Structure 1
Amino acid sequence: MKKLLLLLLLSFFSAQGFAGSCTDGSEPIKSISDDGTYFVFNCTGSNNDTSSSASSSSSKNNSKGIDRFGGINPMPESANPNDETLKYYLYRYLYFHNKYPYCASDNKELHCEDKQPSYTHSIQPSKNPYQFHSDLREDKYVKKQMQDTPLLSYLLYEDGKIVIDEITPEDRFGDMFRVSSKYHSQSNAKSLISYVAGHAICKGYIDSVDSRLNDWPVLENTLYHNQKLIDILNMASGTQAYFNGSNQYVNSNRSVTSTTVQDAMENELKGSKKSSSIYNYNNMNPNVVGSYLNYKLGDENFQELLNDVFQKKARIKGEVFFLKNEDAKKDDLSIWSQFYATQHDLLRIAKAMLDDWQNDTCAGQYLKTIHNRRIPKNGVQGTAGRVGLPLSYGGFFHTGYKGMENRPVMGMDGFGGQTILIDFERGRIIATQAIHDNMKFPQPGGIDFIKLSYERIKNGKPSSKAKSPPEPVIESQQVIKERNAAIETERNAKQYWDDYYDCKETTDGKSNIAACIDKNIKKREKSNLETSTVQNIAKTQSEESELFKGIKTSNTFDGYYGFTNMMPPTTSLGNGTLEINNGIVTISQGSGDLTPKYESFEGRIDQNGDIKANFYFAPCRSCGLEDKLVVFEGNINKKKLSGKYNDKQIYFYLTNKKAEVGQQ
């Protein structure tokens, strides 16, 4: 009986939300999702298990080798790459912010080592990151998409907990992409910049969304000067005459993401005039808003604002950051709508938005304002697929999704399948990450956004309104331990894949990549050892200089003295000859386990016979002990020097003078 009531309830809500028909004019067939929580509408009688992904797998690109598409990054949106190419581009996307696979369009070297990291305004992790409650269920269709398409991660959050949390399998892309992977947001970052702008309004830095950008000299004599903030946020700033698509200037061959705002205003957009305020999607508008906030607040206040939004409110678990424009110099004021974070930190940010809306905070009222002030797209991006289904746009969010035009559903959407849909009314969030999405599913090269995200938001049941489960309590030391482990995992992974693709580019490496990687590791270990040795010598010299500063050397005791090196009670470490020449004490001859290290022994002696010396050694290298700098002190007349290695006392027992200097 309960099941029947549930189905009737689902039918009511689904019928209210469903609109439209199949492309051939027929009516879609309704069936229940795998987990029984929503209805699925399929054309041509396909069921939820197989659907059109069967078409995807059967016509999949099975070619071999990596297609670099002439060296461009990212790959063309229309591409249908094979798995090897997908993996190579995943590598580029993961590590793009600190290692560029090509130095320039005319320089096809694999890596450009002197290219510095180009991120800006890093936000450090919260000391108390939000801990999600999970009540996970299996979803066969999501798993199938993970196997058949470029989908990397999928998260479904509802009723205050994560109910689906899937990541690409190990035998697909999971050996490279992990839960700890920071991945590019693409244009999702536009929405994040808008969210930050809302907090700037709430803190009084800006009056309202109707405030005009008339106090930044950089914008003068361009179409952006004196524009209302809301028009820029809505992509209605009259830019139609100056951009070819979203990322290309009409009057130059430079990309929008490459130039800082000031650079563009002084060149491509100098003297530009605003045309009609209609929707015209481009990458300059979020750069203008982000850079304007940075200018308006000043660097210190802007960083504090970012910390308030992401660290204190969203309570991120790992470091996140925006990128600077590609051609920005070190000190340029620059922020680009590109953001790096883990999948779960992006969900934390989306949950913060949901909480703001539902609790009607100031930031929530901002979100409601930009939703109410949304404008129609007028079919500019079509009426189907990821960017066509939302029929309107507001505040750098996609809105007015087909069949949900009047529901408060807002979407973030980024190139290649980076999507976050938030249903503010029903308390549901769906987030995807992918290597690629050509938006042609069921043709190969795409993910099924409609079934994975759109339909589940559209037809999903209302929130249970039950009180959210309590947040799991995690000890702070455990949080730190997990964070450090994630950092180390990512560092090691990056090094491995750097080696892997370096080896694939060499003749020797191609034939045996594993052997090539091993060779690279050994070469790096040798180099690190040499660097460490040089650093230790420099450190020793510095410490020697400090140690000997108060000693007035004397040649009174110049000569050669025999010694035995002992570790009590009976362990002999070696023996040899101590040389004193002009008050400088060294070891001229030695034998035993410490022979190679005696070269590092150096000291000073004063006229009273007091000796201070440094010795860099380990008393038992075969035991795994590391070399350390030990200070030895004593008196030549007492015939003994002593020092401590950790808690072990070490002695040099001296004999009478054997010979004068130069006579041995």
Structure 2
Amino acid sequence: MDENPDIALDNLTPWNFMKFILLGIISMALVGCQSGPAGQAVTNYGNGVEIPESARPNEATKQAYILRQASWFGDQIRRGRVYIVRPAGNAVPFNTEPNTPSKKLEKEFQVGSLISYLYYDDGVVRYDGTPAAGRFKRSPDNDTYFFTHSTGKSITSYILGHAICMGHIESINEPVDWPQLSATLYQGQPVIDLLNMSAGDAHLVDDAATRWKGHPTHHRSIPLYQVAKILDGTEKRGTGVFYNNTLTDLIAGYIELKAGDEYDVLMEHVFQDKAKIEKPVYYERQSRASYSYFITRMDLLRIAVAMMNDYQAGNCVGQYLQDLQSQEKIWPKYGTSGKRSVNLMNHSRHYGGQFYWSFDGMRNRNILGADGLNGQNILIDLDNSRIVATHAISSGWDTGGLMVKVIKKGKLPN
């Protein structure tokens, strides 16, 4: 195994796995007390593995959190908390060309927060960016596993589309039929209401959108039978969009329930047959499925290309994506004014089916977006076959200039 701690983890020996974990543990222990480049101190933002969106970390802190995330990911594998879809050996390399010159992107990879940038245009990767050589001791590369964060919500929706096309779920209008949650507000609602985050559950979820109110434990750590008790007798309140994390994990669990014994077949079809992944794909799984995926940068692009191809072909899954677009709702977090960090989602006027639609300056075009914490994003021009896929270690970079304008104009910034 390569000495890089971020490489694929499907064939780890016990010793190599221990090295992976020990490296991450050491990095976590050093966070908050070590010095980095040019004597920089590492800032510890808490016990988590994410840098807060409001923070603007120095180089030493970015490096420490890259290692911290790798350690956390390895720990999930050690504890058996992941579901794995292995590649089938059918991955096709992308056609590439030398990077189009872009001083703005070059500067970002020298000192900024982006750690991966892929610009795909009409079948060709025209820009493939990672941090400058020597910038980080353990620099992200094509073997590194990245969090998808909320972009995993969009991937989960894409999987649900395949579940419909394989006959496990009738349609997006099918009433939810979940015996274990039959006494909750979700039972009987059309699936599209869950996909649109309009299930009327704002009164049940905390402000951080990660816990059921009155229960300090993260929702992913609570088994479904306990969720059923927490939500017993609840009713829907309102029809507006209430974006939260608990709901998409329930959608992931519903897919697993409805697919039954064919669940593995479903997941292999999506990732092996459709996306043709090159490396294993993982998602966080404790008592049930989740939307928290771990994917390499090139495989995230492969998934985005598969979405685009389905939409353009108008096949069953493509029709599903078009149906989601047709039932989009007003996105309440639209707006790019002010000095706050602007996420990709802030450039979108509509939300539908766990995707963002109607982007700035392109409301008459078919543009699909997925937004994950700190910049784990994809933006797809479904009309012109363009995709930008990004990963970042922290927020504060220019999503408008490096994603929205690139898709709009088909041209990288100077």
Both structures adopt the same fold (TM-score exceeding 0.5)? yes
Q: Within the alignment, does 1:204 sit opposite 2:167 as a pair?
A: yes
CA distance in 1, matches of 2:334, 2:137: 33
Q: Which amino acid aligns with 2:397?
A: I
What corresponds to 2:255 in structure 1?
Answer: 293
Shift of 1:383: 4.6
Q: What's the offset of the Cα at 1:360? A: 1.3
Q: CA deviation at 1:271?
A: 2.4
- Taking structure 1 as reference, are residues 174 and 402 closer, same or farther at Cα in structure 2, changes over 3 Å only? farther
**TM-score w.r.t. structure 1 length?**
0.53
- Residue of 318, 327, 342 corresponding to 2:279: 318
Q: TM-score under structure 2 normalisation?
A: 0.84
**2:51 maps to what in 1?**
75
Give, in whole Å, the separation in 2 of the partners of 1:402 and 1:246.
26
Q: Secondary structure at the match of 1:204?
A: coil
Residue 172 of structure 1: aligned partner: 135
Q: Deviations over 1:225-270 (max 9, x none)?
A: 1111101001111011112232233322223344344432322x23
| Unpaired stretches in structure 1, ≥5 consecutive residues | 1-60, 101-113, 438-445, 462-664
Aligned counterpart, 2:405: 455
| 1:407 is aligned to 2:349 | no
Match of 1:194 in 2: 157
After superposition, where does 1:241-260 map in structure 2 within 5 Å? 241-243=203-205, 244-260=207-223
Matched, 1:395 2:349: no
1:264 matched to 2:218? The reply is no
Q: What's the counterpart of residue 181 of structure 2?
A: 219
Q: Distance in 2 between matches of 1:271 and 1:413?
A: 33
Higher relative contact order, structure no. (Cα contacts within 8 Å, ≥ 6 residues apart): 2
Say yes or no: does 1:88 pair with 2:64. Answer: yes
- Given that 1:188 and 1:413 are in contact with CA atoms closer than 8 Å, whether structure 2 keeps it comes out as yes
Cα RMSD after superposing both structures: 2.0
8 Å contact 1:318–1:342 — kept in the other structure?
yes
Identity of paired residues, percent? 32
Correspondence for 2:391: 433
| C-alpha distance in 2 between matches for 1:321 and 1:311 | 13
Give 1:5-16 correspondences, 5 Å limit: none
Counterparts of 1:129 and 1:380, CA distance in 2: 37
Residues 388-537 of structure 1 correspond to what in structure 2 (within 5 A)? 388-437=346-395, 446-460=396-410
Any idea what the Cα deviations from partners look like across 1:294-348, whole Å, max 9, x if unmatched? Answer: 11111x4111111001111111111111111xxx3xxx3x112111111001101
3-state DSSP of counterpart to 1:340: strand
AA paired with 2:187? H
Q: Specify the code of the residue in structure 1 equivalent to 2:166.
A: K
Aligned to 2:329: 375
Q: CA deviation at 1:436?
A: 1.0
User: SS of 2:370's equivalent?
Assistant: strand
Q: 1:307 aligns with which of 243, 258, 268?
A: 268
* Aligned counterparts of 1:343 and 1:194: Cα–Cα separation in 2: 20
Would you say the 8 A contact 1:63–1:82 is kept in 2? no
Is residue 119–residue 387 contact of structure 2 (8 Å, CA) maintained in 1?
yes
| In 2: Cα distance, 1:150 partner to 1:258 partner | 30
Aligned with 1:151 (options 83, 91, 114): 114
Which residue identity lines up with residue 79 of structure 1 in the other structure?
Answer: A
User: Is the Cα contact below 8 Å between 1:371 and 1:394 reproduced in 2?
Assistant: yes
1:239 partnered with 2:201: yes
Code of the aligned partner of 1:250? K
Asked if 2 retains the 8 angstrom alpha-carbon contact of 1:218 and 1:265, the reply is: yes
2-side partners of 1:231 and 1:436: how far apart? 31
Q: Which amino acid aligns with 2:382?
A: F
Residue in 2 aligned with 1:181? 144
State how far apart, in whole Å, the 2-side matches of 1:229 and 1:260 are.
Answer: 22
CA shift digits 1:545-604 (9 cap, x unpaired): xxxxxxxxxxxxxxxxxxxxxxxxxxxxxxxxxxxxxxxxxxxxxxxxxxxxxxxxxxxx
Contact residue 404 and residue 458 of structure 1 kept, 8 A: yes
Check conservation: 1:185, 1:414, Cα contact below 8 A. Answer: yes
Letter in 2 for 1:423: D
Task: Give the alignment partner of residue 340 of structure 1, picking from 282, 294, 299.
Answer: 294
Contact 2:51 2:393 in 1 (8 A): no
Count of aligned positions: 368
Q: Which residue of 2 aligns with 1:358?
A: 312
Q: Which moved more, 1:227-236 or 1:257-266?
A: 257-266
* Structure 1 runs of 4+ with >6 Å offset: none
1:381 Cα offset (Å): 5.4
> For 1:455 and 1:380, how far apart are their aligned partners in 2?
19
Q: Secondary structure at the match of 1:227?
A: coil
Judging changes above 3 Å, is the alpha-carbon distance between structure 1 residues 350 and 260 closer, same or farther for their aligned structure 2 residues?
farther
CA distance 1:179–1:290, change in 2 (3 Å):
same
Structure 2 distance, partners of 1:261, 1:421, is 33
Structure 2 residue ranges without an equivalent (≥5): 1-36
CA contact (8 A) 1:139 1:164 kept: no
Q: Deviations over 1:479-503 (max 9, x none)?
A: xxxxxxxxxxxxxxxxxxxxxxxxx
